[in-house]
Amino acid sequence: MLSDDEPQEPVPVPYQELSPDALRGVVESFVLREGTEYGARDFTLDEKLAHVYRQLERNEAQIVFDPNTETIHIIPTQR
C-alpha cells in the first residue's frame, strides 16, 4: 500500500483513448510550452501538431500523467 508521501510512477495514457478535442488540447499545450524547439526552421502550429501526432502514432512518443504533480506530458518512448 502506498502512503501519501511516496512518489508514484507516471501513468501512460494511450492517445487513442482520448477524445479528438482532448488529444488536441494535450498536444497543443505541449507544443506551445516554452523551450519546445524544432530547429532552425520555423513551423506553424498545425505543422508542430502534425509532428507530435505522427510521433504518437509511430509509438515514438507517449502521453503520461504524473500523479505527483497532476500534470500531463509527452515524452519519448523507451526503446
- Where residue 42 sits, what CATH number does that domain have? 1.10.10.610
| Assigned domain for 7 exists | no
Using alpha carbons, select from 68, 71, 72 the residue that is nearest to residue 5.
Answer: 68
More confident residue, 5 or 58: 58
| Assigned domain for 29 exists | yes
Name the burial class of residue 19, with classes exposed (0-12), middle (13-18) and buried (19+) by CB atoms within 10 angstroms of its CB: exposed
3-state secondary structure of 57: helix
More confident residue, 3 or 5: 5
13 residue type, one letter: V
| Assigned domain for 56 exists | yes
pTM equals 0.81
* Residue-range definition of the domain harbouring residue 59: 15-76
| Assigned domain for 8 exists | no
Strands (E), the chain: 11-13, 61-66, 71-76
- 37-66, pLDDT tens digit by residue? 656 678 888 999 999 999 999 999 999 999
